[in-house]
Amino acid sequence: MRQLIARRLLQTIPLLLFVSIACFALIKLAPGDPVLSFVTPNMHPEDIERIRHNLGLDKPAYIQYLLWLKELFQGNLGYSLINHQPVMDQILDRLPATAGLMGCAIALAVLIAIPLGLTAGANRNRWQDKIINLISYIGISVPLFYLAILLIYLFAIELHWLPIMGMRTIGVESPWDVIKHGILPCSVLAFGFLSVYVRYIRSSTIGQLNEDYVQIQYAFGATRRQVLFRHVMKHVLLPVITLLGMSMADLVTGAIVTETVFSWPGIGSLGMTAVKGMDYPVIMGITLFSALFLILGNLLADILYGFADPRIKSTR
């Protein structure tokens, strides 16, 4: 086991390197110029050139990449081209907002998706299944920003229960206030996640119900409910672990669209601003972070798999 983890961790390094090269190349191939984002028409050409030079943007792209890499090996993600703040600080500054929001959304989604998926799978093609399917279709097909605006209309404008945007009421520092601001974005994101999770859990449930052990349990006189929640659920949770592993990256990248609509001060909206301004150190920083967490998430899922299902461990 320890060997496995060490090997996987070592594999991360070339993988991250590859991700960073691909990301950098894409940014440089895309049209646009970071300097343009702060050029005003009445700026002198000499000033523009001087700024370009000071930012190192007049060097060839591969040199820019190597310089960036050199900084990275010294544990430095560089400075934003736009506001000159350290990229690491900016990401860490926004991490709690994003991790909190995404963590809640994913947890909520899993908690709701498991019973829904089990019910749908156990009642395949019956009315329960159809309703749950419908909900999940809506979640998959309706764009989340649209759903967000609908919810804002309903809960903020009509009912005045919840605030429209931001993470805090201005000047207020209380956890309850943050929670109140988080309810809408969290629900929107959870709905998006759960619609996908339900599909997985449903099909997994259908598969499990055909297994021999289910028939045996019935033969021993177990009720449907007992079979479903005591035995089938354990097996169904396996794919959920994979899903959660893949969602680890979401914890640090956030949700660009939802964060933007709700003006949630997370990494998603930081990334959005960076992309608009071609601010490559910030884009690279966020990409690396998310790649790292995706890899770690998958590793974690694999390790958990071993614990959850000894059959997998023994075949390794």
Least distance (Å) from other proteins to the CB of residue 6? 37
What mask, x for binding other proteins by CB under 8 A, covers residues 192 to 211?
--------------------
Q: Does 171 bind other proteins (CB under 8 A)?
A: yes
Locus of tokens 């995404």: 102
Q: How many other β-carbons are positioned within 10 Å of the β-carbon of residue 6? A: 10
4, 25, 138, 312: which one contacts other proteins (CB under 8 A)? 138
Pick from 82, 114, 116, 120: which binds other proteins (CB under 8 A)? 82
Tell me the three state secondary structure of residue 67.
helix
Can you tell me the distance from the alpha carbon of 308 to that of 234, in angstroms, rounded to the nearest whole number?
9
Residue 133 engages other proteins in binding (rule: CB under 8 A):
yes
- 221 and 259 in contact (C-beta within 8 Å)? no
Residue 197's Cβ-count burial label (10 Å; 0-12, 13-18, 19+) is buried
Cα separation, 137 vs 156, whole angstroms = 26
Would you say 38 or 218 has its CB closer to other proteins?
Answer: 38
Output the smallest distance, CB 76 to other proteins, in A.
13
Distance between CA 143 and CA 126 in Å, rounded? Answer: 27
CB neighbourhood size of 29 (10 A)? 8
Judged by beta carbon, residue 32 or residue 310, the one nearer other proteins is 32
- The answer to the question of residue 293 lying near other proteins (CB under 8 A) is no
Judged by beta carbon, residue 161 or residue 218, the one nearer other proteins is 161
Closer by beta carbon to other proteins, 38 or else 62 = 38
Structure-block tokens of residue 295: 């890899």
Query: 277 — phi, psi (to 5°)?
Result: -95, 5
Q: Give me the residues that bind other proteins (CB under 8 A), please.
A: 30-33, 36, 38-48, 50-51, 54, 79, 82-84, 90, 93-94, 97, 130, 133-134, 137-138, 141-142, 145, 148-150, 152-154, 156-158, 160, 163-168, 170-171, 260-266, 269-270, 272-273, 278
